[in-house]
Amino acid sequence: MIIITSTLLSFVVSQALKIIIFSYKKEQVTLYSMISPGGMPSTHSALISGLTTSVALHNGLGSTEFAICVAISIIVIHDAIGTRQTVGIHAKTINAMGGSTCAKLTERIGHTPLEMIAGVVLGITVALLLFALS
């Protein structure tokens, strides 16, 4: 139960921080950041890091479950800062070429390395705190 709790709590804390940071930057309270892609911190990275850390603490670093989580973590984090960021760059280029005749594409889809690192640190921290308190 602690594994799923730390995974979901990492997600919830990340999304809450995203609302606070987004609202502070825009100087208004908004829930848009809950559904918008990208932003600080990376919820993808927080969730998968919380899961991977929890599995490491619960099952051990030599477990099959931990190895699977590490592989999935690499895929998720690569997607968040690699593939999705490239899609955002393409969207920006297409928007610039399309003028006002095309529907505007979302340009902020991926994460910066700093947003990803913040998500990883958050997920690890949440998992460590939950295991320390249990």
Average pLDDT, consecutive stretches of 10 residues, N- to C-terminus, the chain (134 residues): 94 89 68 66 92 98 97 91 73 72 67 88 97 92
- Whole-number pLDDT of residue 47: 95
- Whole-number pLDDT of residue 4: 95
pTM (predicted TM-score): 0.80
Rounded Cα gap, residues 40 and 42, in angstroms: 6
- Whole-number pLDDT of residue 7: 95
- Whole-number pLDDT of residue 99: 60
Q: Do 32 and 24 form a contact (C-beta atoms < 8 A)?
A: no
- Whole-number pLDDT of residue 53: 98
- Whole-number pLDDT of residue 23: 75
**Structural domain harbouring 55:** 2-133
Instruction: Enumerate helices (H) and strands (E) in the chain, giving the number of each.
Output: 6, 0
- Whole-number pLDDT of residue 73: 96
Q: How many domains does the chain have?
A: 1
Residue 3, class by beta-carbon neighbours within 10 Å (0-12 exposed, 13-18 middle, 19+ buried)? Answer: buried
- Whole-number pLDDT of residue 74: 94
- Whole-number pLDDT of residue 37: 65
- Whole-number pLDDT of residue 32: 62
Rounded Cα gap, residues 10 and 112, in angstroms: 19
- Whole-number pLDDT of residue 103: 72
- Whole-number pLDDT of residue 36: 65
Rounded Cα gap, residues 103 and 123, in angstroms: 36
